[in-house]
Amino acid sequence: MTEETYMGVPRNKIPWCPVVNYAKCNFCEGDPQCLKFCPHGVFGIDEKEKKLIVANPDNCVVFCRSCRKVCAPEALGFPSKPEVLNIIKKTRENSEEWKTIRS
Interacting residue ranges for ligand SF4, rule: CB under 6 A: 18, 20, 25-28, 32-34, 38, 40, 42, 52, 60-61, 64-67, 70-71, 73, 75-76
For ligand SF4, give the closer residue by CB, 51 or 89: 51
**Least distance from C-beta 38 to ligand SF4, angstroms?**
3
Determine the longest span between alpha carbons in the chain, in angstroms: 58
Q: Which of 56, 50, 62, 47 is nearest to 25 (CA)?
A: 50
For ligand SF4, give the closer residue by CB, 56 or 91: 56
Distance from C-alpha of 17 to C-alpha of 40, rounded to nearest angstrom: 12
**Least distance from C-beta 1 to ligand SF4, angstroms?**
12
For ligand SF4, give the closer residue by CB, 65 or 95: 65
Q: Which of 80, 88, 83, 81 is nearest to 8 (CA)?
A: 88
